[in-house]
Structure 1
Amino acid sequence: MSPAKNNMSFVELAASEVSNLWSSYLKSSMDLRLLEYFYASTENNEIKQVIEKMLNQSQDNLNELKEILIKENLTLPLGFTNEDVRVDALKVFSDTFILYFCFDLTHLSMSTYPTALSDCARNDVRDHFQKNIAFSVKIQNEIVDLMLSQGVYLKPPHVAIDSEVEFADSMTYLSGFFGGSRPLNTAEIANLTRIVHRAQFSKMVFVTFSKLAKTKELKQHFSKGRDGIEKVLDSLQGVLDKENIPISASGDYKISDVEMSPFSDKLMLFFVNTCLGIFCFAMISQAMTSSLRTDIVSKLDQIADDMKKYYGQGLLLAIKENWFEQPPQAVNRKV
């Protein structure tokens, strides 16, 4: 390593780097607790091997992040500890649903780590996110291959594609509220399908968490999330049904009733606010920017507004329960 590159590790961390390291620490500690329970409760050996790799990666991440933050004299986040998981709790999720869960965790990594990398300049911080991106790509490929081999991968629909090059010849290409709207293009089909598949997974998470939560307030919050997801499914599946575009659904979103929750209420709310919340916003934003039919944009805009209100309530609930860790902030120079 050249002296110039080595010295970059001693440059003071920028605000974006501190923020990304802090968020990565919280995510890795959440992943670790989820994966500890999944590893203990999974019976399928192939799925167990995938979980073990993700588990080891999460632990390595935490060790590396601790080293960087301590070196910078920054307070370590509390994150999630052994108190937030019961690895000896009875099995709640089917092995296939656990595999979907792991797939979802890699999706969040693939949507957050590249952004974090682009915000960072110091070599040790960039190395951390580069390693995580590489691992996320590798493990996601393994998960997809495993899903395909077990026949549980949710494939996007196949559609007949016009082979001729065409250009839109009028403003009616953007219409959709009234009769005569054009067929969906492939970008719109892909994005709507992605959101519907994610909504199907999210719905079952909300159903499960509403049963596992200890407090009445959190049970009601998760139930409200389930109702909101139902509206999303009804709205977007209606568009696809009208176009006679079939969409696959899992037949193994199975959960078992248990008396003891494997996860703390704090952990479940954090997962909902981050994995379900942040990633859903990213998917909807992508869908809105690539959709050119006004009826679809309107539906997505309404969904985004509803989600902002719901996840805002989730953040307030976390603050009320004293579960929200404040990210590092600048010194108040106004005093």
Structure 2
Amino acid sequence: MSQTKNMAPSEGLTANEISNIWSSYLKNSMELKFFEYFVASTANNEIKQVIEKMLNQSQKNLNELKEIFSKENLTIPLGLTDEDVRADTHKIFSDTFILYFCFDLTMLSLSTYPIALSDCTRKDIRDHHQVNIEFTVTIQNEIVNLMLSQGVYLRPPQVAIDSKVEFADTMIYLNGFFGGSRPVNTAEIANLSRVIHRAQFSKMVFVAFSKLAKTKELKKHFSKGRDEIEKVLDSLQEVLEKENIPISASGDYKISDVEMSPFSDKLMLFFVNTCLGIFCFAMISQAMTSSLRTDIVLKLDEISDDMKKYYGKSILLAIKEKWLEQPPQAVDRKV
């Protein structure tokens, strides 16, 4: 009994752990390609230093994950490669937009690594996710401080708060359609402003990608994404405008015309499906669960349905182009 306790057995990976490191590899391979281009095209030294730290962390993660895959006799994913980016092409995005882009990638990390950590058992896998959580918190603090110092941070709305403790005493509290409906609460303001800021960023990504895509099909698909995001903005901004709650927006979403795209169509579609897709659903779901006014819930539900249809087509496009890597599968025990 005591011998068993003192042993340090080499435990095989669970399905959850394999799924999480596989997803982490694809995510880091995508981020590395963007960081390579951002480092080459960013003029601001403070922003460049932040990007270099993120690039080095992504490269370190890929090397570490390759070792784990090899030790476990698992196939290393292809992910995104040198063929998916040309770092020597002309500058497309303003330095400020690149900073927003990096901030968005930290938000993706903070929505995935904590879940992965809670889902894993083996120490080396948990350590991988924990290190990335700690790194992401640190680098996001640097990005926020840099945004504040440069005057480009998009602040959430500030509102006057009623200091009295009150409890909802009628069903009118849930009502958002008929007379007598209550003002939006702080949880609803926070989540709506978060989705709106994300939609503003996503819209400009779609605008850029629709210009950069090589095939007519992807140009059309990214343009459709821009139109869907416009609907999101119109729908949710209407709620805050009726309440006279201002929402900040960036004036530095500048995109330059270039003859040659630095990004492959595969890289752009992967980013759309991962960062603007999966992350988008997580944000909308959070907003729905914390909103109690019926009109807001129904707006978010409609947005979620529209997004499902759009990203369903995105996945089909990836399959059609043979860009969708299948996650590791269990042995078929039915044959």
CA-CA distance at 1:5 after TM superposition: 9.1
Residue 121 of structure 2 corresponds to which residue in structure 1? 121
Alignment of 1:219-230 (within 5 A): 219-230=219-230
The residue number in structure 2 matching 1:206 is: 206
Q: Secondary structure at the match of 2:269?
A: helix
Aligned residue for 1:298? Answer: 298
Aligned partner of 1:184 in structure 2 is 184
For 2:95, the equivalent position in structure 1 comes to 95
The alignment yields a C-alpha RMSD, in angstroms, of: 1.1
Matched, 1:85 2:81: no
Give the SS at the match of 2:8: helix
- C-alpha distance in structure 1 between counterparts of 2:158 and 2:246, whole Å: 8
Aligned to 1:196: 196
User: Displacement, 1:298?
Assistant: 0.1
Cα displacement (A) at 1:141:
0.4
Distance change >3 Å, CA 223–CA 316, structure 1 → 2: same
Partner amino acid for 1:72?
Answer: E
Aligned residue for 2:141, secondary structure, equals helix
Superposed, 1:29-40 pairs within 5 Å as 29-40=29-40
Give, in angstroms, the shift of residue 311 of structure 1.
Answer: 0.4
Amino acid at match of 1:148: L
Unmatched runs of 5 consecutive residues or more in structure 2 = none
Structure 1 residues 123-145: Cα deviation after superposition (integer angstroms, max 9, x where no partner): 00000000000000000000000
Within a 5 Å distance, the mapping from 1:1-335 to structure 2 comes to 7=8, 10-335=10-335
Runs of 4+ in structure 1 over 6 Å off: 3-6
Contact 1:269–1:318 (CA under 8 A) maintained in structure 2: yes
Helix, strand or coil for the counterpart of 2:292? coil
Q: Which amino acid aligns with 1:154?
A: L
Q: Check whether the contact 1:5–1:123 (CA below 8 A) recurs between aligned residues.
A: no
Paired amino acid for 2:178: F
Gaps of 5+ in 1: none
Residue 179 of structure 1 and its aligned partner are, at CA, apart by: 2.1
Q: 1:6 to 1:230 in 2, by over 3 A?
A: farther
Distance 1:115 1:301 in 2: 24
SS of match in other structure, 1:78: coil
Distance 2:143 2:279 in 1: 19
Q: 1:6, 1:50 → 2: CA distance?
A: 42
Structure 2 CA distance for aligned equivalents of residues 278 and 108 of structure 1: 9
Instruction: Please list the CA deviations of residues 2-22 of structure 1 after superposition, one character each: whole Å capped at 9, or x if unmatched.
Output: x969836x2010000000000
Count of aligned pairs between the two proteins: 332
SS in 2 for 1:244: coil
The Cα offsets for residues 195-250 of structure 1, whole Å up to 9 and x where unpaired, read as 00000000000000000000000000000000000000000000000000000000
Write the distance in 1 (CA, Å) between the matches of 2:226 and 2:5. Answer: 53
* 3-state SS in 2 of match to 1:322: coil
Alpha-carbon spacing, 1:4–1:226, altered in 2? closer, same or farther (3 Å): farther
SS at match of 1:204: helix
**Take 2:7 and 2:148, find their aligned partners in 1: how far apart are those partners?**
43
Distance of aligned partners of 1:5 and 1:22 in 2 relative to their CA distance in 1, 3 Å threshold: farther
**1:238-289: CA deviation from partner (whole Å, max 9, x where unpaired):** 0000000000000100000001001000000000000011111111010000
- Distance (whole Å) between structure 1 residues aligned to residue 7 and residue 246 of structure 2: 54
